[in-house]
Amino acid sequence: MKLVNVYHVDAFTKDPFAGNPAGVVPDADTLTVQQMQQIANELNLPESAFLMQSDHPEADYRIRYFTPTTEINFCGHATVGSSWLLATERGWLEKGRPIVFETNVGLIPVALEVEAGKLQKVTMTQISPSVREIDLNQEEVARMVGIRPEDLDDRYPMKLASTGGLHLLVPVRTREAIDRAIPVLSELGALNKEHGITTTHLFTWDAPEGYDVYTRDFAPAIGIPEDPVTGAANGALSGYFALEGFLGEGEIHQLVIGQGHAMGRPGTLTVTVETAGADPVIHVGGAAHITIAGQLRLREDL
């Protein structure tokens, strides 16, 4: 019997049962890809991260991400959860330097913010953001995500954005409209698969008190009806704000993004957007809470 250490980490929150749950397997070197996918399916969390040794000279770990149904190239909340686990349970905090992950999309450094000897927040620097056009019937998109056409906010273009995964950004006028959205998951999943989209991300500046932006995220194409709090999608959204000129150039912008409230799992992302260079630099941070620690038992012949 092979014993595999497995953790359940709630990311973008300091509290258990809030934020976005991620599975984290910190010792995955001996696992096959099939086993990783089976474990992710068994954990049945939005995403699970598997850490292993890296051959890259600048990386500390190789990290791979799986939803219950498929591997994806990048996941923000599972990166936060993995970093929190390494810092608090695996002694990384004592090293006094960032953790660098090798992902399918490149190197992702994660800085650790400490106060009075305790970890307060981890912040990942995502790869350079990109934005591109997509020719869609916006009324059809509104129907698929479960809002009215008049709920769309025409001040902002509906586009695709990425900092590792491709996200369809849907601007919405009010938080109320986002909260009452009931997507047609089968149709939305088919649309996303057709265009290689990882998630469909609704956003509004009509945010609750204490937040600048409020979002909600649907990902049926990769086996996740709704992703509670998304580091990758909100990083891509922040890049979109910069690249589309909604944030002033040559400045450092701080955004507080709220997500998960509609699911009863509220989470908070702190995003820093640097616009002084040739490309915007996106830093996405948050806290986490290790909710479950245990062992998975695998038969040796599997």
Query: pLDDT tens digits for 45-93?
Result: 999 999 999 999 999 999 999 999 999 999 999 999 999 999 999 999 9
Kindly state whether residue 91 falls inside one of the protein's structural domains. Answer: yes
Q: How far is CA 47 from CA 5, 36, 77, 179, 212, in A?
A: 16, 11, 8, 23, 26
CA distance 140 to 146: 10
100-142 pLDDT, tens per residue?
A: 999 999 999 999 999 998 999 999 999 999 999 999 999 999 9
Tell how far CA 36 is from the center of its chain: 19
Buried b (16+ CB within 10 A) or exposed e, 195-211: eebbbbbbbbbbbeeeb
Phi/psi zone of residue 208: left (φ > 0), alpha (ψ -120 to 50 degrees), beta?
beta
One domain for residues 164 and 247: yes
The pLDDT tens digits for 138-149 are 999 999 999 999
Tell whether pTM > 0.85: yes
Same domain, 163 and 87: no
pLDDT for residue 1: 87
CA atoms within 13 A on the CB side of 225: 8
Domain hosting 257: range is 130-286
Same domain, 281 and 292: no
Helix axes 76-89, 231-243, angle to 10 degrees: 120
With vertex at residue 243, the alpha carbon angle to CA 253 and CA 134, rounded to the nearest 5 degrees, is 140
pLDDT at 301: 72
47 included as an active-site residue = yes
* C-alpha span between 287 and 256 (Å, rounded): 13
The contacts of residue 300 (CB under 8 Å, 6+ apart) are 1, 2
In CATH, what number is assigned to the domain containing residue 85?
3.10.310.10
**Count of alpha carbons within 13 Å of 71, Cβ hemisphere only?**
14
Q: Is residue 251 part of a domain?
A: yes
149 and 94 fall within a common domain = no
Indicate if 137 and 108 belong to the same structural domain. Answer: no
- Residues 113, 140, single domain; the answer is no
pLDDT digits (tens, 9 = 90+) for 199-258: 999 999 999 999 999 999 999 999 999 999 999 999 999 999 999 999 999 999 999 999
The answer as to whether 177 is a domain residue is: yes
pLDDT category at 277 given cuts 50, 70, 90 is: confident
Number of structural domains found in the chain: 2
* Distance (Å, whole) CA 122 – CA 131: 26
Task: With CA atoms as reference, report the closest residue to 86 among 55, 52, 45, 46.
Answer: 52
DSSP assignment string, 219-230: EGGGTEEEESS-
Checking if the pLDDT of 302 tops 80, the result is: no
Q: Is residue 171 part of a domain?
A: yes
- Both 269 and 211 in one domain: the answer is yes
Distance CA 233, CA 239 (A): 10
- The model's confidence at residue 299, banded by pLDDT at 50, 70 and 90, is confident
Residue 292 within any structural domain of the chain: yes
Is the domain of 268 the same as that of 139?
yes
* Predicted confidence band of residue 300 (pLDDT cuts 50, 70, 90): confident
Evaluate whether 77 touches 230 at the Cβ level (below 8 Å). Answer: yes
In a domain, 125, yes or no: no
Based on the fold, state whether residues 201 and 231 are members of the same structural domain.
yes
* One domain, residues 69 and 158: no
Same domain, 36 and 181: no
**Residue 93 domain-assigned (yes or no):** yes
Q: Is residue 124 part of a domain?
A: no
Catalytic entry in 47, 89, 244, 251: 47
Closest CA to 230 of 46, 17, 85: 46
Whether residue 253 sits in one domain with residue 235: yes
